[in-house]
Amino acid sequence: MIEVKNVNKSFEDNQVLKNVSAIFETGKTNMIIGQSGSGKTVLMKSIIGLHKIDQGRIEYDGRNLPDMKMHEIRILRREVGMLFQGSALFDSMSVLENVIYPLEMFSELGKEEMTERAMFCLKHVSLEEKAFHLAPSEISGGMQKRVAIARAIALQPKYLFCDEPNSGLDPKTSLIIDQLIHEITHEFDITTIINTHDMNSVMEIGENIIFIEDGEKTWQGNNKDIFHVDNKALNNFVFASELFKQVKKLNK
Amino acid sequence: MSILKETGGYVLLMKRVLVQPDRWRMFFRQFPKELEKLGLQSLPIVIIISVFIGAIMTIQTTLNSSNPLLPTYTTGLVTRDTLLLEFSSTIMCLILAGKVGSNIASEIGTMRITEQIDALEIMGVNSANFLILPKITAFVVMMPFLVIFSMALGLIGGYCVGLLTDIITTANYLAGIQYAFVPYYVFYSLLKSLVFAFLISSVSAYYGYYANGGALDVGKASTNAVVNSSILILFFNLLITNLMLG
């Protein structure tokens, strides 16, 4: 479980996060949603420790991140997997080498065991074997996301962060990636936090949703509660498209 | 203020770079690749420039020292000492700052803007050490070989002038390059080149590592890397020359 308590973050005079508190539960797909510029990416980067917060606590199962020294943060990060918006695969390595990389850095496995584990992860995300030895630039965006997920789970992380996992993907592939993240979260009992503004994802796998508006958390609930909310900003955000307006009507 | 901030940033980065690697196995996997990329791939440009500059220096020195009072070995002597003292170390490093410096800055800068460095950090890897240390060590190791290679090829370029033209005889040229040879000049030149190699690789890595934005910013980082490492080479050249020859 990750608990965020009264987190404040400013960039010079601009206060981006205002007293944000939230609980991200283990074994659930937790989502941070909000409009562009609302502060959701800053919140996620603060939770990971890529931004240093001004005030507050970020507890990973009781371990407060802002109190940790650099080497302690490094140790904690070995329990963390992350799926980046642009996949962030290493260009100089093949698909298989990308997944083997964290194992080589942090596990004591032998070469064969590492390859076995990496292949298991790649098969788990349904990547075809013929793609294992290709360079990241030679595979599609959807496949790159799968490889990134495989790399993120290679070390069996306790915490998984996904930054806009569906960005640049077609609706069908987006759905597959959402399902994959959802399955992995439940199967390995991971605390997953997804930063998104894709409403399909929210409706599909949002088990614990946090809505950020101008740096403040103004709502928390799940994908069922979202239909019965009287938060105007949230309604404007979620039901902006005609499709979701119709879905809301049907739901009522 | 900006210079102070950049110097501070550079020192802090070097503090993260110049530590023991998380895994030596990974370092030694990367190291030969960098030797090949930064060192061996620089050979063609070193060969071409050294041979041509050696030849041009020989022609120009001969044509500008036609006074019969000057000894016949003057051309060889001047060519040799210019190559040893300045060209093969300083000028060659200024050229390599363009080739190697932009390569390092753009490679690391691209990794930064495509979040590959963030991915390393999230994994708990010391990204600065993992990416930069093999580059610095490989370039520092390769540089003395490149300098010695450049010296030899420059001298061969000058010899070719004697061989292919009637501007100077090969006998006079060979006598000149052997006359009053000071081995200390080679040591001085190699030592300088080690410092320059460190400056080129570390300064370029610094600009690449802190690149942010998009492709245009990677281009800017590359330009800054080349310009600033060139300025530092000139500054340290003056300092080392004053200390070692002054």
pLDDT digits (tens, 9 = 90+) for B231-246: 999 999 999 999 999 7
**CB contacts < 8 Å between A and B, how many?**
56
Burial of B75-103, coded b for 16+ CB within 10 Å and e otherwise, reads bbbbbbbbbbbebbbbbbbbbbbbbbbbb
Are B116 and A91 inside 8 Å of each other by CB? yes
For residue A77, the Cα-to-chain-centroid distance in whole angstroms is 14
CB contact under 8 A, A77 and B26: no
Distance CA A226, CA B237 (A): 67
pLDDT tens-digit series, residues A151-160: 988 888 999 9
The pLDDT score that the predictor gives to residue A228 is: 79
Contacts 24+ apart (CB under 8 A), B59-68: B59/B161, B59/B165, B59/B167, B62/B161, B62/B167, B62/B168, B63/B167
Show residues of chain B in contact with A161, CB under 8 Å: 122
What is the band of A12 on the pLDDT scale with cuts at 50, 70, 90? Answer: confident
Note whether B114 contacts A75, CB cutoff 8 Å.
no
* Complex ipTM over 0.90: no
Cβ <8 Å between B116 and A89: yes
Q: Are strands A159-163 and A14-24 parallel, antiparallel or unpaired?
A: unpaired
* Span B112-164, pLDDT tens digits: 999 999 999 888 899 999 999 999 999 999 999 999 999 999 999 999 999 99
Domain-embedded: residue B13: no
Among A72-81, A184-193, B20-29, the range scoring the smallest mean pLDDT is: A72-81
Phi then psi for A218, rounded to 5 degrees? -110, -5
**Nearest-angstrom CA–CA distance, B218 and B106:** 6
> Which of A41-55, A104-118, B184-198 is most confident?
B184-198
Cα–Cα distances (Å) from A241 to A211, A232, B145, in that order, read 18, 15, 65
Q: Which residues pair with A162 in a beta bridge?
A: A83, A194
Judge: A74–B114 Cβ closer than 8 Å, yes or no: no
* Interface residue of B12, B13, B28, B123 to substitute, partner A, most A CBs within 10 Å: B123
Instruction: Kindly determine whether residue B26 and residue A104, on different chains, have CB atoms separated by under 8 Å.
Output: yes
Residue span(s) of chain A under CATH 3.40.50.300 come to: 2-79+158-251
- State if pTM tops 0.95: no
Range of the domain at B148: 23-244
Query: How does pLDDT run across A80-121, given as a tens digit for each residue?
Result: 999 988 889 999 899 999 999 999 988 888 999 999 999 999
What's the rounded Cα separation, in Å, for the pair A185 and A163?
A: 15
The set of residues, in sequence order, having a beta carbon less than 8 Å from that of A191 and lying 6+ positions away, is A1, A2, A24, A25, A26, A27, A28, A30, A158, A159, A160
Q: How far is A155 from chain B, CA to nearest CA, in Å? A: 10
Quote the pLDDT of residue A168: 78
3-state secondary structure at position A189: coil
Q: Which of A75, A86, A161 sits opposite B115 (nearest CB)?
A: A86
Residue B34 is predicted with a pLDDT of 95
Gap between the terminal Cα atoms of chain A:
33
Q: What does DSSP assign to residue B66?
A: -
What is the tally of structural domains in chain B? Answer: 1
Mean of pLDDT values over A8-36: 91
Interface of B with A in 13-42 (CB under 8 A): 22-23, 25-26
Task: Give residue A129's pLDDT.
Answer: 87
For residue B14, being part of any structural domain is answered with: no
Q: How many CA atoms lie within 13 A of B169 on its CB side?
A: 5
Residue A252: what pLDDT?
64
pLDDT for A125 equals 85
Q: What is the per-residue pLDDT across B22-80, written as a single tens digit (0 to 9) for each?
A: 889 999 999 999 999 999 999 999 999 999 999 999 999 999 888 888 888 999 999 99
B11 within a domain of the structure (yes/no):
no
Lowest mean pLDDT: which of A46-55, A161-170, A199-208, A234-243? A234-243
Q: What angle do CA A22, A25, A28 make, to 5 degrees?
A: 125
Tens of pLDDT along B195-218? 999 999 999 999 999 998 889 999
pLDDT class for A30, splitting at 50, 70, 90?
very high
For residue B139, being part of any structural domain is answered with yes
Work out the average pLDDT over A33-57: 89
pLDDT at A241: 67
User: Are B90 and B189 spatial neighbours (Cβ–Cβ below 8 Å)?
Assistant: no
In this structure, is residue B87 part of a structural domain? Answer: yes
CA distance A206 to A135: 33
Closest CA to B172 of B85, B71, B83, B80: B71
CATH tag, A2-79+158-251: 3.40.50.300
pLDDT at position A204 is: 86
